[in-house]
A and B are shown apart, each in its own frame.
Chain A
Amino acid sequence: MRFLFLLALIVSGYASSHSLTPTYPSLELSYVPGVYKADLELFNARKDISYYEVGVFDAEWNAITAAITPKKIMKVPHSTSKKITVYIPAASKDRAVYICTKSKTLFTPVTQVTVILSKICSKLK
């Protein structure tokens, strides 16, 4: 029963949401000497959102310079996933704590609404 519930959760999560995996990515040496990398996957099931921004932060939420592929702000069409690689210089490796994805909103002509900005942060091991 618990398994069924978990399965339902996973399926429902893929129905209309924003998610980022893994929760605890690890930094590994990349093919560039002195640069570490972490691999993540973003899934966009939000119909109202097509763009996401990726950022790296320290424990105090200060931004850390990092190179991101495919791009820092990327298009992720509805119901698709995008593999993200974050490259962090060795000098910043120990400061980096969070890798976050944040939805970007394009305003459409509507009146008196609230829009939801979703942000999910994974924590580096």
Chain B
Amino acid sequence: MKKLILATALLAPFALAEHAEIIGNVESKCSITTDTQGVYGNPLASKLSTLAADGGVLPILRYDIITAGSYKAVIGYPNEFASSPALNDIVTWTGSTIVGEVSDASMSAFETNKVEYNNITEFPLSIAGTAWFNVASEANYGYLTALPAGQYVATVTAECVAI
């Protein structure tokens, strides 16, 4: 009994703790999420397109921006196949990247201030929040030449570069 009282007395200070701290840090960070993996539709024998009107699915990327003005998004639509059957003719690539949904209406500035060159579009991530980017891609083979049957894979590059 004495031992039990002694043990209780020793443990008592720990039981008297009034609060516990939860510590968290919010640090500058950019996260890239694949929201939707794109799929090519094949509306013509010579054409692959991610547009819904062509039976495709647009790739959609989500960028989470914790601190405004720390990063820029650099997004590139495909300009070659990463994997395809043997192709003997020229493939003509076109595409575009636009701002889709945004968590803050002022993020429309991303679209206004974007810079385009080659297949790349750069967006200054000047506002914290979440932004979705839609990437359209189209590949036309030769002059209305039928694409050979097989597997076609193309790569969308999504970069977040600290500035």
Q: For residue B38, which residues in chain A have a CB less than 8 angstroms away from its CB? A: 113-114
Within 8 A of A (CB), among B1-58: 26-34, 37-42, 48, 50
CB contact under 8 A between A117 and B152, given known A12-B64, A23-B28: no
Complex contact B155–A115 (CB within 8 A): yes
Q: What is the interface residue range for chain B against chain A?
A: 35 or more
Give the A-B pair count, Cβ closer than 8 A.
142
Complex contact A115–B152 (CB within 8 A): no
Interface size of A by Cβ–Cβ distance < 8 Å?
38
Q: Is B96 an interface residue (CB 8 A)?
A: no
Q: CB within 8 A of B155: which of A17, A98, A105, A121?
A: A105
Closest to B84 in A: A112
B112 to chain A, nearest CB (A): 23
Q: CB within 8 A of B156: which of A12, A19, A45, A117?
A: A117
A23 to chain B, nearest CB (A): 4
Q: Is A119 an interface residue (CB 8 A)?
A: yes
B100 to chain A, nearest CB (A): 15
Complex contact B130–A9 (CB within 8 A): yes
Q: CB within 8 A of A112: which of B103, B151, B156?
A: B151
Complex contact B27–A6 (CB within 8 A): no
Q: Is B61 an interface residue (CB 8 A)?
A: yes
Q: Is B146 an interface residue (CB 8 A)?
A: no
Q: CB within 8 A of A116: which of B66, B151, B158?
A: B158
Q: For residue B32, which residues in chain A have a CB less than 8 angstroms away from its CB? A: 17-19, 116, 118, 120
Complex contact A23–B34 (CB within 8 A): no
Nearest 4 A-B pairs (CB), nearest first?
Answer: A114-B38, A123-B162, A13-B31, A112-B40
Question: Can you list 27 A-B contacts (CB < 8 A)?
Answer: A9-B130, A13-B66, A15-B33, A17-B31, A17-B64, A18-B31, A21-B29, A23-B71, A24-B162, A46-B34, A107-B82, A110-B153, A113-B39, A114-B59, A114-B137, A114-B153, A114-B155, A115-B153, A116-B37, A116-B59, A117-B158, A118-B32, A119-B157, A120-B32, A120-B159, A120-B160, A122-B162
